[in-house]
Amino acid sequence: MQRPPFTALASVYDAIMADIEYDAWADFILTYARSENFTPSSVLDLACGTGASTEPFVKRGLDVVGVDGSADMLKVARSRVPNVEFVLGDLRTFDLSRRFDLVTCLFDSLNNLTASEDLGAAFSRVYAHLAPGGLFAFDINTRSGVRDLWEGDALEGLAVTPDGREVHYHWSHHYDAARDLGVVQAFCRVEGEEFVEVHEERGYDQFDLEPLLAAAGFGRWEFVEFPDFAPPEFDAPRVWVFAWKAFEGQGLPSEVV
């Protein structure tokens, strides 16, 4: 019954996550970009999953490529958003031999990298794939967010897939203090068939992220909260980060692709 993360879940993920604000998040990112007099035309959407985070940028006329580590999720993405290139790849090592104006990684996907060196490797790959002057936008759960998320509670309900299947789900969460990880046990029953996936996340605070961004080559970044771009409260469960790659010749570390 137990399956690896983001495998069996792929076929029912969009039904369970139907209320996630992907459109609002895309507008949030593009509004920030415009406030900086930056208008991207190409987007690399990392950890794109089923394409739900990719689709809003496609609808807004941008040239988008999606990357994800799950073949099962990408199978759904290719059906959901035809005519978009989706690539199977590891966030720590992917190489598309192309640069983009904007790189995104949404819905706390980077928290799935539970070692700081892995997160730093992902930041370096993002930097290598950004065009000079490009923007990296992502959200991430903080340490307090992961520690307190659903603590002592569970998320459960009934959802219906586009093809009419009923999905009963029960997702429980606990914080593993010994390993400093949040652990989610995602149970689903789909027309009598059951499966469980276990997902782990590590929380990252500003003081964790800044050295990793600097080491990757980013020279300027900003931490804000959704939806008003306010500076994060000290106990904010999730923050948004906008990091800029300098134009070439501005004295920042040279990139190695």
Domain CATH number, residue 22: 3.40.50.150
User: Given phi > 0 = left and psi -120 to 50 = alpha, else beta, which region is 247?
Assistant: beta
* Residues 196 and 97 both lie in one domain: no
Single out the residue of 48, 50, 44 nearest to residue 18, CA to CA: 50
Q: State residue 35's pLDDT score.
A: 98
Res 150: pLDDT: 62
Indicate whether 250 belongs to any domain: no
CB atoms within 10 A of CB 173: 20
* Other CB atoms within 10 A of residue 185 CB: 15
- pLDDT at residue 152, as a whole number: 62
pLDDT score of 151: 64
Q: How many CB atoms lie within 10 A of CB 46?
A: 25
Q: Classify residue 71 by its DSSP letter.
A: H
**What is the pLDDT of the chain when averaged over all its residues?**
94
Residue ranges, the chain, pLDDT below 70: 150-152, 249-257
pLDDT at 148 (0 to 100):
87
Same domain, 35 and 80: yes
Please tell me the predicted confidence (pLDDT) of residue 250: 55
pLDDT at residue 124, rounded to an integer: 98
pTM: 0.95
> Domain total for the chain?
2
Are 202 and 146 a contacting pair, CB within 8 Å? Answer: yes
